[in-house]
Structure 1
Amino acid sequence: MSDTPPDRLSVNPKSPHFDEPTLMRGIGIRFKGVQRRDVEEYSISEGWIKVQVGKKMDRKGNPLTLTLNGPVEAWFESPAVDAEGAEHDAAKGEDEAATPDAE
């Protein structure tokens, strides 16, 4: 897995931008300098997020969303896990992760 989140991601399983493994890893979103936890969908390159409007639903039962424009930053909240189950953190170098701390 890459340490860069996708350019566009949605939490709606019906969306073509839905990616469950990426969502399970956890995505953090900062919009206009403020961390948001209520984002339904985002696009970094187009500079927008979609947030739910209260508890209102449309006629098909989907939550009503409002599109907000501005600078969007995204990051993973947990490190990548490879096929063997070992975690990889981008902040650590390979040499640092391979050698234990000597005391």
Structure 2
Amino acid sequence: MTDTPPDRLAMNPRSPFHNAAILDRGVGVRFKGEERTNVEEYCISEGWIRVAAGKALDRRGNAMTIKLSGEVVAYFHDQA
């Protein structure tokens, strides 16, 4: 594996951007300089993250998400 996280990553296993091996390694996300732990999906090149919108669910039982724009920095937890 490389030492840089992917440009786009999703936590949902049904997403085409989901990668279980990378998620098992542990990925952290800083959004606008603040550590975020509730990120469902991110894209570094486009500068956005998706976070859960409270406890609301859609008709398939997935969490409703909000797309926030800003500076996104992803990193692996095992790096010093």
Percent identity, aligned pairs only?
56
In 2, the alpha carbon distance for the partners of 1:78 and 1:24 equals 11
RMSD of Structure 2 on Structure 1 (CA):
1.0
In 1, the alpha carbon distance for the partners of 2:24 and 2:50 equals 19
In 2, the alpha carbon distance for the partners of 1:78 and 1:22 equals 12
Residue correspondence of structure 1 range 84-99 to structure 2 within 5 A:
none
Deviation at 1:44, TM superposition (A): 0.1
Query: What TM-score do you get using the length of structure 2 for normalisation?
Result: 0.96
Q: Larger C-alpha radius of gyration, 1 or 2?
A: 1
Point out where structure 1 has 5 or more consecutive residues left out of the alignment: 80-90, 92-103
Partner of 1:29: 29
Query: What TM-score do you get using the length of structure 1 for normalisation?
Result: 0.75
1:52 aligned onto 2:49 = no
Partner of 2:17: 17
Partner of 1:97: none
Higher relative contact order (CA 8 A, sep 6+): 2
Bigger strand fraction: 2
Point out where structure 2 has 5 or more consecutive residues left out of the alignment: none
Task: State how many pairs are aligned.
Answer: 80
